[in-house]
Amino acid sequence: MFPDSGHREKRVLLLTAAPQDATAILKAFEGADIAMHCCAPGNLASEFQAGLGALVMTEESMTSPVLSTLPVLIADQPSWSDVPILILAAPQTDAETRLFRWTPSVGNATILERPMRIETLVQSVRVALRSRDQQYRLRDQIEAQERLLMQAETNERRLSAVLNNTRMAVFFMNERQECTLMNAAAETLTGYSLSEVNGRLLHDALHHTHPDGRPYPVQDCPIDRAFPQNSQTEGEEVFVHKNGHFYPVAFTASPIRQDDVVVGTVLEVRDITRQKSDTEHLRMLIDELNHRVKNTLATVQSIFRQTMKDEPISRHARDAIMSRLLALSRSHDLLTEESWVSAPLRALTDSALQPFGARNREAARFILDGPDFDLCPKAALVIAMSLHELATNAVKYGALSTETGVVRIRWTVTAPGTLRLTWTESGGPPVTPPTHSGFGRRLIERGLAHELDGEARIAFEPGGVVCTISVPVDKAVLGIGKAGVTK
């Protein structure tokens, strides 16, 4: 048994066979601020193991039992501990000889000759306690280092467990971009073991050539820029497997910092061969679907032409139906370019107004004002058809029926979360409210309400038609462009 970690025992034991010596010494130390306790020879083992700062013993107390017990007690001390022992002996005695004959392991014993001044003994004890305090400081340092080592070993085990159980390939590189560690997933991914790439430039093993055979200099490698540029880099690259085949990967390379100094790079890599294949397959399916949709629309147009060829239908009605089919087709083309994920509102507006001169010499007659939003497919189709109907009406009866008419289209996202688009005509003939709702008006109002939970209000102002379309953002907008939100 030894004092608990962190405890610094300053107690001094006095071992003497003469009661008068014990009384005199204890009395002398009362004012010295040193805790001294008298110890019987039979209690030496228990007192020693309880912890002490120093042991003072008289020559007379060095009996055979004491000299046989002391070596065991000294040997049982921790490696950092060496209890100071002060022996009070008469001049020219063999106390030292007897002590070291019985306890050759004692290395911190001091022989003090009697008679002596009590101040000399006190000072010697103080020196012994300072020596003992140094030992305790050494113990604290050793234990702190052991704790750090244990924590490092624990962290290393945890890191190893994480690295070897994750499916992400992870590499560690030093400041020279040499591989120093890779997990099991990295070995599986590359075909190399750690011993094969340890100490080598990772680029030379996995990334040294392009798929077409051209050399890939390390200075051109984006992965290696993470270290000199002290910034995280991510992207896609093509690696070379140990067996020679190429495979696409997504990577993230991050600098490793230690005390604000970059000492290496950690590289996370995953094989995206399957992802690339799935994306290509999905693209092929989308292209096929788009092709079939366009063919279907073309077939509908053909059926309509053939069916209505000999029917008593006005040319106006025939042209209106065909223009709506073409508007729907153009909207599909724009969505096809974005893989039916989204459609930019500005590009959608340009496309819907293209047949009415938005991209030719009459472009100045259309004023578009608003940030660029990405619309979901359903919203894109409904809004495109609404713009087509408004433009068709403007050509027949409104601002686009004259040479000086202008259409202003403005859109914003308001604070409550509403996409608001306003169509305003000016410079056309005086407007007279219609006596009934036509198909185009019903398409706008009912389409927005049914498909997007929105609404459209068409006002036939004397100066021109004003149509306000309001749609909940969560039903229409997928993303907001760099221009931000207009309030």
| Residue 323 confidence (pLDDT) | 66
Average pLDDT rounded to a whole number, residues 337-364? 75
Give me 229's structure tokens: 């540029």
| Residue 304 confidence (pLDDT) | 65
| Residue 332 confidence (pLDDT) | 66
Give me 468's structure tokens: 């306000």
Element of type H or E holding 100: helix 95-102
The identity of residue 42, as a single letter, is G
Asked whether residue 331 falls in the same domain as residue 452, the answer is: yes
Average pLDDT rounded to a whole number, residues 133-143? 91
Asked whether residue 325 falls in the same domain as residue 444, the answer is: yes
Asked whether residue 354 falls in the same domain as residue 453, the answer is: yes
Q: Distance between CA 400 and CA 81 in Å, rounded?
A: 101
Q: Distance between CA 59 and CA 113 in Å, rounded?
A: 10
Asked whether residue 295 falls in the same domain as residue 359, the answer is: no
Taking only the tens place, the pLDDT of each residue in 30-79 is 878 888 889 888 888 888 888 889 999 888 888 878 878 888 888 888 88
- Read off the pLDDT band of 424 (50, 70, 90): very high
Q: Distance between CA 180 and CA 174 in Å, rounded?
A: 7
Identify which of 98, 88, 93 has the alpha carbon closest to the alpha carbon of residue 58.
88
pLDDT exceeds cutoff 70 at 360: no
Beta strands in 338-405 (DSSP E): 343-344, 366-369, 373-375
Lowest mean pLDDT among 82-96, 135-149, 181-195: 82-96
Q: Which residue has 């113990």 as its token pair?
A: 139
What CATH number is attached to the domain comprising 206?
A: 3.30.450.20
pLDDT exceeds cutoff 60 at 208: yes
Taking only the tens place, the pLDDT of each residue in 167-187 is 889 999 888 888 898 888 999
Cis amide leading into 115 (omega within 30): yes
Taking only the tens place, the pLDDT of each residue in 399-421 is 988 888 999 999 998 877 899 99
Q: How many domains does the chain have?
A: 4
Most confident stretch, 172-176, 292-296, 465-469: 465-469
| Residue 242 confidence (pLDDT) | 92
| Residue 43 confidence (pLDDT) | 86
What CATH number is attached to the domain comprising 66?
A: 3.40.50.2300
Asked whether residue 54 falls in the same domain as residue 183, the answer is: no
**Final residue of a structural domain among 312, 338, 367:** 312
Q: Distance between CA 355 and CA 379 in Å, rounded?
A: 21
Q: Distance between CA 363 and CA 432 in Å, rounded?
A: 26
CA distances in angstroms from 472 to 211, 346, 370, 452, 475, listed in the order given: 48, 18, 17, 7, 5
Asked whether residue 66 falls in the same domain as residue 126, the answer is: yes
Q: What are residue 12's DSSP bridge partners?
A: 36, 54
| Residue 426 confidence (pLDDT) | 93
Taking a C-beta distance cutoff of 8 angstroms, is the pair 411, 387 a contact? no
> Which pTM was predicted?
0.48
Mean pLDDT of the chain: 82
Most confident stretch, 166-170, 215-219, 388-392, 418-422: 418-422
User: What residues make up the domain containing 248?
Assistant: 167-271
| Residue 54 confidence (pLDDT) | 92
Identify which of 381, 338, 426, 475 has the alpha carbon closest to the alpha carbon of residue 389.
381
Q: Does residue 157 sit within a domain?
A: no
Q: Distance between CA 376 and CA 340 in Å, rounded?
A: 8
> What dihedral do alpha carbons 429, 354, 448, 318 form, nearest 10°?
80
* DSSP β-ladder status, 179-182 and 169-174: antiparallel
Asked whether residue 102 falls in the same domain as residue 187, the answer is: no
Asked whether residue 308 falls in the same domain as residue 349, the answer is: no
Report the number of secondary-structure helices (H) and strands (E) in the chain: 15, 18
Q: Does residue 398 sit within a domain?
A: yes
